[in-house]
Amino acid sequence: MGQLILRRLVFMVFMLIGLMAIVFAISNIAPGDPARLAAGPDATNEMVEQIRVERGLDKPLVSRFVVYLTNLATGDFGTSLHTKRAVFDDLARYFPATLELVVLSISFAVLLGVPLGMLGAVFQNKVPDQTIRFIAVSGVALPMFWLGLMLQWYLSLEWDLFPLGGRLGIMTPRPENITGMYTVDALIQGDFRAFREAFWHLVLPSLALSLPALASIIRVNRAEMLETLNKDYILNAQAQGIGPFRVVSAYALKNAILPTLAIIGLRFGWMLGGTVLVESVFDFPGVGLYATKAAVNSDFDPIVAVTLVLGASFMLVNLIIDLAYALLDPRVRSQI
């Protein structure tokens, strides 16, 4: 197990360096002059050239990439031309918000998707299964931004059940910053009012973000459950008089859950990189919205830093999924 973790971590390092090289090259050859954008519309050519020299934008691309890697080794992600703050400080502010949103979204998808997939397999081609398949198809077909707007319209504006957007109400004091995730920080400090309000603000964007993942989990889990329920050991357990609930939940689900774990890990990574639309609709200050503004302003350092953080998070999640595979499946564990 230790050798597997070590191999994957070494592989992650090389993958991140390659990812940085690609994104750094693309972001620096894209149209736009970051020095002129940083100087402002009224700046003279001399002022623009001075900023270009100060920020090293006059050097060759390879030299700038080497300097960036050197600074990155010391924890320096650069400075944002748009916010005028260190990129590391911006990420520390925005990434926990996105992580909080994605964790709640994937939790919704797993807690609903796995039971619905089981239910669809048990009642194959019957009314419950047809209803569940309709939900799965809708999750793939409906755009997230449209669903977010509909949720805002009906549940916020028409029925006034949830807040329209943001992370907390204007009059609610923010909990002391410990992890950057308002719900976690509020629980740590025992501020249940802030926790309840922060959670309430997360519900609608989490539902909009979770629907594609919910659809994928339902479809994969249902298909694996259908295949597993026809195995000989399941038929043998039923012949021995073991109750249907125990057969499905204890015997069939244990084997059907392995492919579902893979899709959960993939969807978690896709969510981290795909929160832009949801964060824009709900005015949620996360890393997706931050990266979009950086791209519009040709702000290279935040673009590369966000890509690096999201890439590392995606790889880490997949490492956790691989370890879960090894723990749940003795055949995989014996090959390590």
Residue 253 confidence (pLDDT): 85
**Are 105 and 206 contained in the same domain?**
yes
Query: Helices (H) and strands (E) in the chain — how many of each?
Result: 16, 0
Domain stops at, among 17, 42, 73 = 73
DSSP three-state, residue 137: helix
Angle between helices 2-29 and 300-328 (to 10 degrees): 160
**Are 54 and 124 contained in the same domain?**
no
Taking residues 163-187, what's their average pLDDT?
Answer: 89
**Are 266 and 157 contained in the same domain?**
yes
* CA separation for the pair 275, 284 (Å, rounded): 9
Cα 177 to its chain centre, rounded Å, is 21
Domain stops at, among 10, 38, 73 = 73
| Residue at 79 is within a domain | no
**Are 160 and 56 contained in the same domain?**
no
| Residue at 82 is within a domain | no
> Is 197's pLDDT higher than 90?
yes
**Are 235 and 110 contained in the same domain?**
yes
**Are 112 and 169 contained in the same domain?**
yes
| Residue at 85 is within a domain | no
Out of 20-24, 213-217, 228-232, give the one with best mean pLDDT: 213-217
Q: Which residues contact 137 (CB under 8 A, 6 or more apart)?
A: 215
- Tell me which residue range forms the domain holding 68: 2-73
**Are 45 and 132 contained in the same domain?**
no
* CA separation for the pair 209, 271 (Å, rounded): 7
What pLDDT band is residue 3 in, cutting at 50, 70 and 90? Answer: confident
**Are 36 and 116 contained in the same domain?**
no
Asked if 218 contacts 113 with a C-beta cutoff of 8 angstroms, the reply is yes
* CA separation for the pair 283, 167 (Å, rounded): 9
| Residue at 84 is within a domain | no
| Residue at 17 is within a domain | yes
**Are 200 and 57 contained in the same domain?**
no
Out of 64-68, 123-127, 164-168, 245-249, give the one with best mean pLDDT: 123-127
Whichever domain contains 107, its CATH number is 1.10.3720.10
| Residue at 264 is within a domain | yes
Q: What is the pLDDT of residues 123-142, one digit of tens each?
A: 999 999 999 999 999 888 88
Q: Which residues contact 240 (CB under 8 A, 6 or more apart)?
A: none
**Are 106 and 19 contained in the same domain?**
no
Residue 153 confidence (pLDDT): 93
More reliable by pLDDT, 188 or 80: 188
Beta-carbon neighbour count of residue 61 at 10 Å? Answer: 11
DSSP three-state, residue 281: helix
* CA separation for the pair 196, 200 (Å, rounded): 6
Domain stops at, among 73, 100, 126 = 73
DSSP assignment of 250-280 equals IIIHHHHHHHHHHHHHHHHHHHHHS-HHHHH
**Count of domains for the chain:** 2
**Are 114 and 144 contained in the same domain?**
yes
* pTM (predicted TM-score): 0.85
DSSP state of 118: H
Residue 322 confidence (pLDDT): 78
Q: Burial of 120 by CB count in 10 Å (0-12 exposed, 13-18 middle, 19+ buried)?
A: buried
| Residue at 80 is within a domain | no
Structure-token match 């920080």, residue found: 185
**Are 117 and 195 contained in the same domain?**
yes
Which has the closest alpha carbon to 278: 170, 185, 201, 172? 201
Least trusted range by pLDDT, from 31-40, 55-64, 298-307? 31-40
* CA separation for the pair 228, 247 (Å, rounded): 11
More reliable by pLDDT, 52 or 108: 108
> Is 27's pLDDT higher than 80?
no
